A and B are shown apart, each in its own frame.
Chain A
Amino acid sequence: MTAASPASPATSWRPVLARGVVLRHDPVRDADLLLLPERVVVLDGSAGGVLRLCDGVRDVAAVVAELAVRHPAAPVAAEVPEFLNRLRKEGWLR
């Protein structure tokens, strides 16, 4: 896999949750959840933090930059754009 450069189409879109998709923390299960009309997706540890940055204002490059500051040791540039793309394909982000 090659890391996308900041100007490529893969990183220039401004992700935001699609209509009808809700991100919330579940205090009972202590987990972040994505709620959809007929489905619940239990997010793993860091995914909720990534999605909370998806406000429709930041582009993917800005999301990556912000996460890189928070988690300097994590491979965010390699993994986050792919993760967001996967969620866009599912229709959960637009």
Chain B
Amino acid sequence: MTAPPAPPAPPGPPWALLAELTHACPLRCGYCSNPVELVGRSGELSTEQWSEVFRQAGALGVVHTHLSGGEPLLRRDLSDLVAAADGARLYTQLVTSGVGLGERRLAELTGAGLRSVQLSVQHADRVTAERIAGARSFTAKERAARLIHEAGLPLGLNAVLHRGNLDDLDGLIRLALDWGADRIELANTQYHGWAARNRAALLPTPAQVERARARVVRWRERLGGTLELVWVAPDLVDATAKPCMGGWGAVSLTVTPDGTVLPCPAAGTLPGLDPPNVTHRELAWIWRESRAFNAFRGESWMPEPCRGCALRTVDHGGCRCQAYALTGDATRTDPACRHAPDRPLVAALVHGAADCADPSAYGYRGGGR
């Protein structure tokens, strides 16, 4: 008989907090990874409750917070929240659509201690961008980028990539250069929440992915580091599990609009996880002791073939939420992985996408207003 696997080592302190301040959003992107069931405005944490979250996060060792959503600008108390996070010695980054970011609002936020902004973009072409977002937003984004640049704040763009924009990578990169961005994250869609409903329409073809990847390599050579290009790989097409969240409960935590604390933004979908809430428990207890944060920590939960695979130290067994979404069992090897017993499921999806005739036929995000 073999010895039972050792329990996971006590976790080091977390580095980052994703603060989902609200689920409300002026955009209706079909690739939205927020849950299908959103938290309503009346269920959101108050200013005081968020301030307490930031205080506890700072004491626990968090140094970065990403103020996200939905659209965090829809929180009228956003500059108070920035001030609270800054007061807790957290580095604050705003993650925004840019809709509602005028001159006065930005001045308030920088005055409160905002350090940097990540702005979403859907496409370099205005009409296509607004079709993808399902809302008028391009002019607001242009203006936001100009104001952020003029204010001297670091600006990152974030483009979620899918079948409908992957062929225009050059346009997105030129947009980043035109708008004075320091960085652009070219992030292939993660099929969680609303996005999972649109998987067939969003999944790119392997040929599209290969062309795009080659463009990234060319641009990197050409730019020589003046604009940082981050490529978030399409795990399903690449047949390579992603090192999801840098490991379960290893690097960061997510607090959703109603105070639920999750090891990753999509983990709310996992059955039986029983995620804790900041209104009932201290963040330190949640991070160290809660069942949810220990569920997939370390390696003792891993099935074969992960258990004996050298990749386990790199990909940490891949994405639990994807394993659950595709197989109904969160403890299975991530089916994205080429070594996974369930890989045929993913191969069928990728094949199916190549045959999908109308790439724009996805359902817009609903319920986010």
Seen from chain A, the residues whose Cβ lies within 8 Å of a Cβ on chain B are 19-20, 22, 24, 26, 28-29, 33, 35-38, 40, 91
Contact = CB atoms under 8 A, between A and B. Distances in A.
Nearest to B154: A20
B146 interface: no
A38 B93 CA distance: 9
Interface stretch (B58-66, B71-79, B210-218, B290-298): B58-66
Nearest to B153: A20
Nearest to B155: A37
A94 B8 CA distance: 43
A9 to B, nearest CB: 21
Contacts, number: 40
A22 B65 CA distance: 14
Nearest to B91: A35
B28 interface: no
25 contacts: A19-B152, A19-B153, A20-B115, A20-B116, A20-B154, A22-B91, A22-B115, A26-B61, A26-B63, A28-B13, A28-B61, A29-B13, A29-B61, A33-B63, A35-B64, A35-B115, A36-B154, A37-B93, A37-B118, A37-B154, A37-B156, A37-B183, A40-B15, A40-B63, A91-B182
A19 B154 contact: yes
Given A35-B91, A37-B115, A38-B156, 6 more contacts: A22-B115, A28-B61, A29-B61, A35-B115, A40-B63, A40-B64
Which of A19, A28, A37 has the most chain B CB atoms closer than 10 A to its own CB? A37
A10 to B, nearest CB: 20
Interface string B196-240: 000000000000000000000000000000000000000000000
Contact of B183 (A28, A33, A38): A38
A35 B63 contact: yes
Interface in B46-87: 59-61, 63-64
B316 interface: no
Interface string B173-199: 000000000110000000000000000
B153 to A, nearest CB: 6
B244 to A, nearest CB: 17
A38 B116 CA distance: 9
A13 B63 CA distance: 30
Q: Top 4 A-B pairs ranked by shortest CB distance?
A: A20-B154, A28-B61, A37-B116, A35-B91
A29 B13 CA distance: 8
B182 to A, nearest CB: 8
A37 B228 CA distance: 12
